[in-house]
Amino acid sequence: MRVPEPCQRLGRRLGRGLQVRRRRRDERGATAVLVGVLMSVVLIAITAFTVDLGTQRVARRDMQALADVVALDMSRQLDGAKGASALTSSAAWQQGLTRSVARNFSTIGGAPQVDAVVGTVNATTGAFTAVSGSTVPSAVRVTARTEVDFAFGLAQSGAATRSAVGTARSTACFRLGSYAAGLNTADSPLLSTILGGALGGINVNALGFQGLVTGDINLLDLAVRLGLGGVDELATANVTVRQLFVAAAQVMAAHGDTVNANVLNAIAAQVGSLGPIPVAGLISVATGNGAGASAIINALDLVTGAAFLANGTNALSLPSLGTNIGLLGTNLTTSVKIVEKAQLACGVVGAKASTAQGEVSIKGTLASVSAPNLTGLTVTAGGTDISLSLASATGTMTQIVCGAGTSASPQGVDVSVNSQLATAARVEQTVSVNGTILSSSGLLGGLLGGLLGSILSVEVHGTLKLTTTTTQAGATRPVQIRVPNSPPNWDTGKSSGSGELGLDKTSVSAVWTDGPRLEARGLLGLRIDLNVQQIANLTTSLVTNLTNGVLGNLLPLVNTQLLVPLQRLLGLELAGATVFGIPTPNCASPTLVG
């Protein structure tokens, strides 16, 4: 049967379509293979590039770490004294650089090239400037460079360069005021009563605590004995009073001072469960820069400072002051309140420390106050009211001097001492005057200034209140410590004040609280009215005699038995305080700045 032509043509078209579709399916398979091959090549290239780039990035991190460590190592040689040329040309500098690189050479790539350049860093911008010659550098810039080979041949190698800047920050310690420096036989009853009251009523005198004035305790050793990581951790720690004293005793025993170690152990055994106390209340240490690592604290200052903190109010009161300093009298009430302790400060320029504040009150009738002997008059010394305020002073370290510790190259610190109100003292003394002055005694003529006329006697009755005050305005004064020139050693303090406080009669005010009642008589006992000039002369001369007689006896007693011992105990002086340097400044405390 013959297929019609149209059907044949349709069949041929359908057959050709099937063939075309088969060819297209075959081409799609070939394209996938080609794409897969191409993607493999690209991925391999990208992977190779990534591996090489990663290797270079690792090398850069290694170079940064190496530069950081070497910069810290080399900055330790910046002693603040040697010039740039002398420092970098020395064998110690070259050996230090070589050894630092060798210690830290565990980096990828080839052997690193490390260069160290000395200079200074701008405190504001942080920019590093290289210096040379005799200029003393305060910073070192270390540059570390290496080459790493690329594994896949996209390039031969890649460079990795990084730098770091290290500085040697100078740190030092000082203390403002000192119980240790002020302790002597006269002060011992005062200080021992204060300590005994704050530390649980222990008999401090029986322990012979005065010997602690000669003992010094290294802060780092103290931190180690307390199980702490260093002075930074010590400065922020809280410990019990017993733990503190036991650790301090262990430090002193380790250095052969068994006598003071025994005293501290005896105090520790009697303080009970006092604490914990913040060590930051004893020492002010700027953390993070190595400040205080070689600093010391006096053993007596440590004990007194702990007593303040253990008291819980940062204020110690001594109600039996009169007994302890030898003041006796009738209805006598005495007290001294020390508001805050003297402080040790460690750190960079700007570190601060504060002195103690004191408040003294004495009221009653002092038996040691005598009245002048005025013929015909009975002069009786009445109530005494003594008040004294020793305000705080703050010391700020303004400069650290790095030297060799010789006369030609001393070490030391500069401290600016600001006292807001150094002293304010007041003494009030009442005096009663009763009796009759006769012209035959000669005294009446002197009192009336020669204006006797027909007056033969004057009867006097009255009560006078004498008040003397001493105040000192705030002041800021610099203190410069240069050991061994001024002072000759680290145990000697330097004063920022103009001397010790002393009350005198130059600021006396006299007020009659009762009277005066004056009655003059002449012949046959007739009453005579005194004129204004006679009354003025009489009262002025009488006040002068009473002031010189009463205060001339009282003020030396207050000065010598009260003010001087208390000021010496607190380390305060007129309009200032005493500054003590702590051996020795650390002029190579490394830190990274860039």
Collapsing DSSP to helix, strand or coil, 419 comes out as strand
For range 457-480, the mean pLDDT: 87
Q: Which residues contact 357 (CB under 8 A, 6 or more apart)?
A: 338, 339, 340, 389, 390, 391, 392
Q: What is the pLDDT of residue 221?
A: 93
Write down the mean pLDDT value for the chain.
81
DSSP structure class, residue 62:
H
| Banded model confidence at residue 321, pLDDT cuts 50, 70, 90 | low
Of the listed ranges 207-216, 391-400, 469-478, the least confidently predicted one is 469-478
pLDDT of residue 39: 66
With beta carbons less than 8 A apart as the criterion, state whether 234 and 219 touch: yes
Token pair in block for residue 375: 């013929």
Whether 580 shows a pLDDT value over 80: the answer reads yes
Instruction: Find the distance separating the first CA and the last CA of the chain, reported in whole Å.
Output: 101
Q: Please enumerate in sequence order all residues whose Cβ is within 8 A of that of 562, keeping only pairs 6 or more positions apart, or say none.
A: 325, 327, 360, 362, 386, 388
| Least confident window among 36-45, 143-152, 316-325, 511-520 | 36-45
Q: How confident is the model at residue 344 (pLDDT cuts 50, 70, 90)?
A: confident
583, pLDDT greater than 80: yes
CA distances for 328 relative to 227, 321, 344, 363, angstroms? 49, 10, 37, 11
Burial readout 498-521 (b: 16 or more C-beta within 10 A, e: otherwise): eeebbbeeeebebeeeeebebebb
Residue 28: the pLDDT is 55
Token pair 């380390």 is found at 571
Share of the chain above pLDDT 70, in %: 80
Reported as a pLDDT band with limits 50, 70 and 90, residue 284 is confident
- Of 3-12, 189-198, 386-395, 410-419, the one with minimum mean pLDDT is 3-12
Helices (H), 514-551: 532-546
Which of 197-201, 341-345, 361-365 is least confident?
197-201
Digit-coded pLDDT (tens) for 550-570: 888 888 877 777 777 777 777
Is pTM beyond 0.75? Reply is no
Given a cut of 70, whether residue 456 has pLDDT beyond it is yes
Q: 317-321: which pairs have CB atoms within 8 A and are 24 or more residues apart?
A: 317/197, 318/190, 318/193, 318/194, 318/197, 320/193, 321/190, 321/360, 321/362
Q: What is the pLDDT of residue 194?
A: 72
Over residues 256-282, mean pLDDT: 87
Which range among 74-78, 320-324, 521-525 has the greatest average pLDDT?
A: 74-78
- Phi and psi of 23, rounded to 5°? -65, -40
Check residue 461 and give its pLDDT. 95
Measured in residues, the chain has a length of 594
pLDDT > 90 fraction of the chain, expressed in percent and rounded: 25
Q: CA–CA separation, 422 vs 176, rounded Å? A: 14
Q: Of 146-160, 201-215, 477-491, which range is least confident?
A: 146-160
pLDDT (average), residues 238-259: 94
pLDDT of residue 454 exceeding 80: no
Question: Has residue 420 got a pLDDT over 90?
Answer: no
- When pLDDT is cut at 50, 70 and 90, the band that residue 288 belongs to is low
29 pLDDT band (50/70/90 cuts)?
Answer: low
List all residues 6 or more positions away from 144 whose beta carbon is below 8 Å from its beta carbon: 63, 64, 66, 67, 70, 112, 113, 114, 161, 162, 163
What is the per-residue pLDDT across 94-144, written as a single tens digit (0 to 9) for each? 999 999 998 887 777 778 899 999 999 887 888 899 999 999 888 999 999
